[in-house]
Structure 1
Amino acid sequence: MKRIINIGSLNLDKIYQLPHTPLPGETLTASSNRIGLGGKGLNQSIAAARAEAAVIHAGAVGPDGEPLTAALREAGADVSLVRVRDTATGHALILVNEKGNNSIVLSPGANHTLTINDLDEAIGQGHPGDILLLQNETNLIAEAIRRGHAAGLKIAFNFAPFDPQAARELPLELVDILFVNEIEGAGVAGAGDTGRILAILHERYPALLTVMTRGPEGAFACTPSGEVLHEPSPPEEVVETTAAGDTFIGFFLAELLRSGDLGKALKLGCKAGARCVSRPGAAESIPTLGEL
């Protein structure tokens, strides 16, 4: 059975409900706040596991990170490669407005303590055809891409958060599947229109499968042959969008491994992402396959 090996971030989220995103110099009182479990890596592993894929999560937390490994374990992910470091667990400050949209500030913490040995241990668990999943919230991304590619793994990279310097330095030509939203896609391609972004990335990286999520518009995919597919998002009442993209990625990859059908993967990913936004929270908002 093919597996997803996720070298991914693990965060404790501090979530504040606000009437709107603060303007420069503005102070707002939150109507509520809570601590949640998150990090793009954690969310994507939980989503893939709840979509019934075989998932190994590799990453790092601080001494306070046990709730994160427990959540992964409960979802069905293998956590034997999650390391505990003598530094604070990464965390995110998430501001959610009354429309359910969010703004996020990250503090990497233990997510930036990964070593080459950590990468080699994780990649060594894989076999050709397995997927190595990465996000731009940990260190050593370029090395992980190179070493995973050399080991024959399929590289899936979620370029979030977008970093212009990383876009110039990362070996994206070795990536098999690139996940971006409209902002990240525009940053990588240097263009803002969906069609233009997909065309530029196809021209620049002809072997790449580019998958772009567009919120309520659903998702687009451009294949190595240049074919563009679009799957609309099912209508759902939006409560919070924090983990929507991560949920899409986990379910998309699980279906792609299961059936190899890109259309089915897009459809399942959009369906799961839409269900996710109808609930509050990050990891706790991710549905199971049975719910869909």
Structure 2
Amino acid sequence: MIITINSIGVWGSGLNGWDATQAILRGEQPRVDDTRKLPPPSLLPPNERRRASQVIRLALLCAQEACQNGPYEASELPALFASSNGDGFIINRILDALASPMGAVSPSMFHNSVHNAPAGYWMIAHHCQQPAVSLGFHNETVAAALLKAATEASSEETPLLFCAYDAPIPGSLGTVRRTDQPFGCAFVLTPGAHAGPQLSLSLHNEVTETDPAIQLPVTLQDMARYNPAGRLLPLLHALAHHENHTLHLPYGQHTLTVELTHA
């Protein structure tokens, strides 16, 4: 299958948008860790804006930038939101609340704990009635999500919003699930080969994986290795340099091979 990347959105610790990220990936400026809270998406109604967690904000900022830089209206795009960890911060707060003497869980926390919360906020923000999928597949989430996005775009012959994101998990869960710094990436994808960066996806019956940190700036290597969504960083590095690249992503007992070319 071949799909074309129309536009890109990137946010994370020290990565404030695709333009700034390209400069870091090309070595034109250093990456500086940014511990400030992400701003709430301005398109959300006041109640939802106030309730949106940092993970929801991360996903929506990536998706919003990709849509703003592309030729399609956000409200017209089916969407795929993918996260390995989900909202670990909210889950940790719920576990702490359950372990407290009162054992009371805030309705807002429970509302944000479900895996499709970012997709729901996105649909509310854009009054979108297109289908949306929320996907989690542990360390193979990026492979599963890219395969799903390419299959849906090709079979439905329609552009699609793809967004992958992950953030650290605090508390005891975080000790067994290392995730280095928040990172998210979004693409607006169209089926087939068109002008621009093209991705050719193929599934192979053997497990092959390369170190995702190879060729990346030193300050991004841990993010690529220890943030599940960071497996997309080598692809972004090649896009920033306008280079071809082959990415191997383990997928069960198979490997998803993603070949990037520029037309």
Q: How does the TM-score come out when normalised to structure 1? A: 0.29
Where relative contact order (Cα < 8 A, 6+ residues apart) is larger, the structure is 2
Q: How does the TM-score come out when normalised to structure 2? A: 0.31
